[in-house]
Amino acid sequence: MRGMYIEKTYGELVTQIEQLKLLLSEAQETIEAIRRGEVDAFIVKNNNVPEVYTLKSSDQTYRIFIEKMTEGAVTISREGIILYCNTSFANMLDLPLTKVLGQSFENFIPDGYKDAVSRLIAIAWAEECKAEIILPGKNKNPIPVLLSLNTMEIAGGLAMSIIITDLSSQKNAQEELKQKNAQLEQAQLITKKMNDELEQTVRERTNELYKSREHFKFLADNIPAIVWTASPDGEMDYFNKRWYDFTGKDYVQVHKEFRLFIHPDETDAYQNLWNKAISTGTPFELVHRLKDGNLEYRWHFSQALPFRNDDNDIVAWFGISTDIDEQKRALEKKDEFISIASHELKTPVTSIKGYVQLLRYNFQQEGNSHAADLLTKADVQINKLTSLIGDLLDVSKIENGQLLYHEEKFDFNELVKEIIEETERVTKHPIKCELAATCTISGDRNKIGQVITNFIDNAGKYSPTGAVINIKTVNRKTSISLYVQDYGLGIPKDQQAKIFERFFRVNSEKENTYAGLGLGLYISAEIIKRHKGSIGVESEQGKGSIFNFELPII
Ligand code: ADP
């Protein structure tokens, strides 16, 4: 043989190399074809006899399947040499297939696992087994894997298949799960703590609530008034002990029955005002009588306020009814006294006035002008007294509903001019007047004149001598308004609403220097009210006031 080669020429050798290269590439193609599953069998000459090798151990379907699967698949021989492996396994190791095939499987097992894996393989030749190990993956990043070892028959004997499952994502998921579990536990701990705190707060609040309820109950039961609460729709749902003491009835008999104890004369007013308060959410106020356990009526002043939550919704009504029977009776006595006193005073004062006028006339006739002047001054004072008595009489009559009105039709401007003329004779204030087109009014001419006089008198009384008084009317076709403006003391804002009340006088040192009973505006308001008009004031303290009324035009 050796001699044969030596005898070959260079050219023959080149040709032979070319042929061998061709054969090699054919062989490589065949191997690739087997790998891709394109070849199921091939013919090999054995001792010049052609033999068919079918690829029994890896038929085409399985090979494709194995190539496509994400798990690594390796077949090793008894000696631990890798006979076959799929691309997934090579990828796991980050090596080309060529560097894996034909190598010892152990080469790819990290040192720490080598012994364990060779023991595993030894066992696996006898029985199928599994184990988790770490493989050095891409950039030496360790990959946790599961090895499943199984023996299998291939042409030429027993081989071992090893399926390598990448457990990274599973491990990551497990790790994540562990972390999530830890977070969950933490959250549970926090929740438990919060729950405990909440329970503690609830316990404390319940305790506080109990205490505050007891406080409220104690306060409500011992307050010298009837206290009640009602739901937002106005149904009464609580009464204090005093209610049951007052009515002499028990809970079942008088619960929610407030209305039934109100005097029949005031039941309608109560119902109307209560309904109005409920529908508008505004405070309720009423003076009325309530029937006690002896079936006697006592005057009460009832008030209720809405209690609102943070959203401004009414959640309850709190009411209080104070027994004002004694005050009311004392007031009635006072009114009675005023009525009697003013009546009793009126006649002697009228007589005195008559005598004074007669005396003055006589002195004038005698030429005793000094005595006549003194009697003129006395007459002025008697007029003031008459006016005060007149006011007191009017108030008594208003209270008893006895103030009589003489209705007539009259020219409004004429009345105003008449009063201005009268006033100008006695006042120390210049009066400026600006009257709108006149109109006809229906009502009591004298009493409306009394209101105008009262406005002008007050304007003079509460402003410095010489300060101008402006009088103006505005004709609004269906109504006429009269304004009396002064540049005097003015009225503090918080007292403006009260000046039309009976006996009310602005409380300050300055006002106290002016004589008066605080009745003029009360009477004026009553007169205007009776004429279906309205009365009002605009004022700024220290700058002056504008009083006005408005009356309907017929
Ligand atoms: P009085 O007899 O006290 O004047 P009124 O009823 O007429 O009674 O007035 C009530 C109160 O209103 C007065 O006491 C005074 O304090 C105040 N008041 C009335 N008019 C004026 C005004 N033009 N300027 C300032 N205060 C006034």
Query: 123: closest CA among 148, 144, 103?
Result: 148
Q: Are 288 and 299 in contact (CB under 8 A)?
A: yes
Question: Mutate which of 506, 519, 522 to test ligand 1's pocket (most atoms within 8 Å of Cβ)?
Answer: 506
Rounded Cα–Cα distance for residues 120 and 117 (Å): 5
Q: What is the pLDDT along the chain (554 residues), one digit of tens a residue?
A: 444 445 667 888 888 888 888 888 877 776 676 666 565 555 555 555 544 455 544 456 677 778 888 899 999 988 899 988 888 888 888 888 888 888 999 988 888 888 888 899 999 999 999 988 888 777 777 888 899 999 988 766 788 999 999 888 888 888 888 899 999 999 999 999 999 999 999 999 888 888 888 888 888 888 889 999 999 999 998 899 999 999 998 877 766 778 899 999 999 999 999 999 999 999 999 999 999 999 999 999 999 999 999 999 999 999 999 999 999 999 889 888 988 998 899 999 999 999 999 999 999 999 999 999 999 999 989 998 998 899 999 988 888 888 889 999 999 999 999 999 999 988 899 999 999 999 999 999 999 999 999 999 999 999 999 999 999 999 999 999 999 999 999 999 999 989 999 889 887 766 566 778 899 999 999 999 999 999 999 999 999 999 999 999 98
Task: Show the tokens assigned to 230.
Answer: 């009602």
Asked if domains 40-166 and 405-552 share a fold, the reply is no
Count of all residues that appear for the chain in the document: 554
Atom 7 of ligand 1: nearest residue by CA position:
520
Q: How far is the CA of 208 from the centre of ligand 1 (A)?
A: 51
Query: 474: closest CA among 483, 487, 485?
Result: 483
Atom 9 of ligand 1: nearest residue by CA position:
518
Work out the end-to-end distance of the chain between its first and last CA atoms, rounded to an integer number of angstroms: 153
With a 6 Å cutoff on the Cβ, whether 521 touches ligand 1 is yes
pLDDT for res 50 = 46
With a 6 Å cutoff on the Cβ, whether 524 touches ligand 1 is no
Type of residue numbered 359: L
Q: Sheet containing 469-475: which strands, arranged edge to edge?
A: 431-434, 469-475, 479-486, 544-552, 534-540
Q: Which CATH code, of 3.30.1360.180, 3.30.565.10, 3.90.1150.10, 3.10.200.10, is assigned to 405-552?
A: 3.30.565.10
C-alpha R_g of the chain: 59
What are the CA-CA distances from residue 289 to residues 122, 244, 318, 322, 507 (Å)?
110, 16, 19, 11, 32
Helices (H), 285-368: 325-366
Ramachandran angles phi, psi of 504, nearest 5°? -85, 130
pLDDT for res 3 = 42
Atom 25 of ligand 1: nearest residue by CA position:
490
Rounded Cα–Cα distance for residues 209 and 204 (Å): 8
256 Rama sector, left if φ>0, alpha if ψ -120 to 50, beta otherwise: left
**Sequence spans of domains, the chain:** 1-28, 40-166, 223-323, 329-396, 405-552
With a 6 Å cutoff on the Cβ, whether 499 touches ligand 1 is yes
What are the CA-CA distances from residue 141 to residues 79, 92, 361 (Å)?
28, 10, 136
Q: How far is the CA of 25 from the centre of ligand 1 (A)?
A: 128
- pTM (two decimals): 0.55
Q: Sheet containing 157-166: which strands, arranged edge to edge?
A: 82-85, 72-76, 157-166, 142-154, 129-136
CATH code 3.40.50.1370 for 223-323 = no
pLDDT for res 95 = 87
Residue 503 contacts by C-beta under 8 Å, 6 or more apart in sequence?
517, 518, 519, 522
521 CA: nearest ligand 1 atom: 6
490 CA: nearest ligand 1 atom: 25
With a 6 Å cutoff on the Cβ, whether 511 touches ligand 1 is yes
Q: How far is the CA of 515 from the centre of ligand 1 (A)?
A: 10
Rounded Cα–Cα distance for residues 20 and 283 (Å): 116
Which residues are paired to 308 by β-bridges? 314
The fold for domain 40-166 equals Beta-Lactamase (3.30.450)
Which H, E and C letters describe 490-514, residue by residue? CCCHHHHCCCCCCCCCCCCHHHHCC
Atom 8 of ligand 1: nearest residue by CA position:
518
CA 76 to chain centre: 77
Instruction: Return the sign of the alpha-carbon dihedral for residues 493, 498, 499, 503.
Output: negative
pLDDT for res 532 = 95
